[in-house]
């Protein structure tokens, strides 16, 4: 599961980086920037749903990091 999350983060960052490159090169003349950002949003939603499904199936569990016990 950790490998899938890491791959998803890499894909999200790569899509964001490609959007930046398209923005600098095309200067708004093409839709490649919008497409790259739409792909990034798709990857982000997919990652969220993957994490949610993994939690529901019991593949991952909350660790309690950041939660303060009383």
pLDDT digits (tens, 9 = 90+) for 4-60: 889 999 999 999 999 999 999 988 788 999 999 999 999 999 999 999 999 999 988
Compute the distance between CA of residue 35 and CA of residue 23 in angstroms, rounded to an integer: 11
Q: Which strand (E) or helix (H) includes residue 67?
A: none
pTM of the model: 0.76
Domain boundaries, the chain: 2-57
Is 26:33 a contact under the CB 8 Å cutoff?
yes
């Amino acid at each position: 599961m950790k490998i899938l999350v890491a791959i998803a983060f890499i894909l999200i960052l790569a899509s964001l980086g490609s959007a930046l490159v398209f923005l600098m090169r095309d200067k708004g003349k093409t839709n490649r920037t919008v497409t790259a950002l739409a792909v990034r949003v798709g990857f982000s939603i997919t990652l969220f749903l993957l994490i949610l499904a993994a939690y529901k199936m019991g593949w991952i569990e909350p660790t309690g990091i950041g939660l303060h016990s009383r």
